[in-house]
Structure 1
Amino acid sequence: EDFLKLYKNNGYLINENLQNLKNTMQDIMIYYKLRYSFSKDVKDMSKNKNLDILNIDEKDGGTLLYKINNQACVGIELTRHDSRMAMKIYG
């Protein structure tokens, strides 16, 4: 039923969820750029209530989970790559 609802609404919910995810990713990147570290409190990095921490190291990154429809379905992996931080999204 959930897929049928998403299909029938002309993509509005999908676009809205994608925009919210994009804004959350920007929040995380800005937080890191300002502090060159991550926080163990997810609310410091983004006010989005759909974001949870699976595991995080303040300097080396970790994995965050983004929920859509109260289900963790998007992973945000923060890793160090060539002395820079990289963000990998999967779901």
Structure 2
Amino acid sequence: MKQLPPEFYSLMEELQAVDFVLVELTLYLDTHPDDYESIRQYNTFAKQRGLLKKKIESCYGPLQQYGNSYSGYPWNWDDAPWPWQL
């Protein structure tokens, strides 16, 4: 497996933390749908996630399959490490 720079791993760690917050806020909002502050937090983290994903993919390649991420040329889905290998 190819070695990637330390920035890749710190960006992936940040993305995982943001994903965790989004999952927790989703679960909370399922039972508290009128909590304006939590909805605001959710939208803030959703925007942050989009920016992180874009930054990671522009430097290191796609994170998701099935049209959720663009592929570079040549097809680069077999470039390791894959997100679940971290």
Please report the TM-score for the alignment, with normalisation by the length of structure 2: 0.41
Q: Which has the higher strand share?
A: 1
Structure of larger gyration radius = 2
